[in-house]
């Protein structure tokens, strides 16, 4: 008996891992990193999302993140985010690992305990030197309660003051993982714990180029016992050759259909 029939007869415990990337938010109007819309002021996003870029020109990097925050605040979850949230509610054990720093999965209804934002959260602002951080959905790097943040004087009229840490006076930065930086240890542990507790029945990888080894590794480890490994991506990726099912379609089209198949 396969897991779908067993599930139907309530004999089975279903574990699902979903890995997502920028392509899942593309249809909400958020440009992907490596897509043709990704460039900002003629700059390559993969170069802006880097500690060297922040060291060289923190104002430029903040401007880019402020625009991205604004776009995300005005965006709505699409049918792909909603389908994944439906799956999260139906599976016995579920984990979403997203590389997206937007909040569209959360706004579609995935609870925090079922989601790992492995590249951080764009609405977090944290100190570039110490552990101080805060979360806020405002457009500017706004001060936390009590106005503890100090800022340096603006150099141009149209520039936002760069916020400084109230504890150590270093520059504050967006709370995201940049190229070459370590992944957040606690979040990696959450993924590892989920994988250690057992193999999955279904693994879905959607909207990511899967350029990072850990994404490929997690997808393969989760599907090690013959799980369905479903890839949703209009283009080929390093994971495509391992997939048991390839859907070369936009995520907002393919995911509602797959989730409907899985839960009915």
Q: Give the residue numbers annotated as catalytic, written as ranges.
A: 119
Q: Does 207 bind ligand OAD (CB under 6 A)?
A: yes
Residue 141 CB, shortest distance to ligand OAD, in Å, is: 18
27: which residues sit within 8 A by CB, 6+ positions away?
A: 78, 79, 80, 250, 251, 252
Q: Does 208 bind ligand OAD (CB under 6 A)?
A: yes
Q: Does 78 bind ligand OAD (CB under 6 A)?
A: no
Neighbouring C-beta atoms of residue 103, cutoff 10 Å: 18
Encoded one letter per residue, x for contact with ligand OAD by CB under 6 A and - for no contact, window 22-41 reads xx--xx----xxxx------
Q: 245 and 229 in contact (C-beta within 8 Å)?
A: yes
Encoded one letter per residue, x for contact with ligand OAD by CB under 6 A and - for no contact, window 135-174 reads ----------------------------------------
Q: What are residue 43's phi and psi, to 5 degrees?
A: -105, 145
Q: Does 117 bind ligand OAD (CB under 6 A)?
A: no
d(CA 68, CA 62): 10
Instruction: Return the DSSP state at 171.
Output: B
- For tokens 């590794």, the residue is 217
Tell how far CA 103 is from the center of its chain: 8
Residue 191 CB, shortest distance to ligand OAD, in Å, is: 15
Q: Which residues bind ligand OAD (CB under 6 A)?
A: 21-23, 26-27, 32-35, 46, 49, 99, 119, 177-179, 206-209, 232-235, 237, 250-251
């Amino acid at each position: 008996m396969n897991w779908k029939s067993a599930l139907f007869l309530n004999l089975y415990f279903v574990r699902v891992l979903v890995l997502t990337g920028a392509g899942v938010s593309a249809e909400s109007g958020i440009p992907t990193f490596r897509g043709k819309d990704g460039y900002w002021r003629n700059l390559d996003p993969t170069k802006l999302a880097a500690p060297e870029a922040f060291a060289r020109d923190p104002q430029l990097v903040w401007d880019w993140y402020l625009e991205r925050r604004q776009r995300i605040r005005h965006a709505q979850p699409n049918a792909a985010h909603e389908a994944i949230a439906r799956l999260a509610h139906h599976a016995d054990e579920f984990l979403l690992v997203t590389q997206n720093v937007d909040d569209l999965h959360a706004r579609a209804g995935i609870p925090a305990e079922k989601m790992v934002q492995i590249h951080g959260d764009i609405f977090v602002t944290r100190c570039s030197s110490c552990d101080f951080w805060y979360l806020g959905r405002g457009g500017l790097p706004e001060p936390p309660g009590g106005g503890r943040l100090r800022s340096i004087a603006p150099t141009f009229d149209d520039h936002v003051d760069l916020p400084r840490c109230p504890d150590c006076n270093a520059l504050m930065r967006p709370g995201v993982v940049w190229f070459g930086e370590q992944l957040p240890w606690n979040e990696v542990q959450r993924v590892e714990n989920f994988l250690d507790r057992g193999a999955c029945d279904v693994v879905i990888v959607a909207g990511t180029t899967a350029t990072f080894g850990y994404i490929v590794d997690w997808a393969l480890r989760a599907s090690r016992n013959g799980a369905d490994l479903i890839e949703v991506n209009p283009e080929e990726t390093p994971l495509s050759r391992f997939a048991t099912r390839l859907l070369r379609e936009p995520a907002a089209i393919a995911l509602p259909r797959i989730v409907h198949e899985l839960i009915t």
